Amino acid sequence: MSLKKQFIKTKPVVKVTFSIDAKDANSAAVVGDFNNWNIEEGTLSKLKNGTFKATYDLVKDAIYEFKYVIDGSYVNDPEADSYKWNDFAGSENSVLVV
């Protein structure tokens, strides 16, 4: 799993690339505060090497909670900036600081 942040000097956005290695998975998505936890809006594309990947423009100077959804199972990113407990889900969410 990987998070890559590219700060754009001329715009108030950060290009964030989410990628997760899930060779045996049929589908993967990233859901979080930035897409209203909507799986359809967070669909990741599967590459030939089995990695799922997508890049999103997120407003900078913000903190987002997120998770990956791999074949219906919610998974945290081990490379997240931190983790935050979510009472609604009864588990921790990954945290992204941009």
For 54-74, how does the pLDDT look when each residue is reduced to its tens digit (9 = 90+)? 999 999 999 999 999 999 999
- Give the separation between CA 84 and CA 90, rounded to whole angstroms: 11
CA torsion angle for 52, 53, 58, 63 (degrees, to 10)?
Answer: 40
Q: Looking at the predicted structure, is the pLDDT value of residue 1 above 70?
A: no
**Four-CA torsion 35, 37, 39, 42, nearest 10 degrees:** 30
Mean pLDDT, range 12-32, rounded to an integer: 95
pLDDT at 89: 79
Report the predicted TM-score, pTM, of the whole model to 2 decimal places: 0.92
> Can you tell me the distance from the alpha carbon of 33 to that of 62, in angstroms, rounded to the nearest whole number?
10
For residue 33, count other CB atoms closer than 10 A to its CB: 15
Segment 68-89 mean pLDDT: 93
Question: Tens of pLDDT along 25-53?
Answer: 999 999 999 999 999 999 999 999 999 99
pLDDT at 88: 83
* Tokens coding 87: 């009472």
